[in-house]
Amino acid sequence: MDELTYEQAMQKLEEMASQMEQGKIGIDEMAECLRKAQKLMKYCHEKLYEAEKNCKSLLNVEEKE
What are the extents of the domains in the chain? Answer: 6-64
Residue 65 pLDDT greater than 70, yes or no: no
Q: Return mean pLDDT, the chain.
A: 90
| Distance between CA atoms of residues 40 and 8, nearest Å | 10
Lowest mean pLDDT among 10-14, 27-31, 36-40: 27-31
**Given this model, what pLDDT does residue 62 score?**
63
Mean pLDDT, range 6-12, rounded to an integer: 95
Rounded to the nearest angstrom, the gap between the alpha carbon of residue 42 and the centroid of all alpha carbons in its chain is 6
Greater confidence (17 vs 61) lies with 17
pTM across the whole model = 0.77
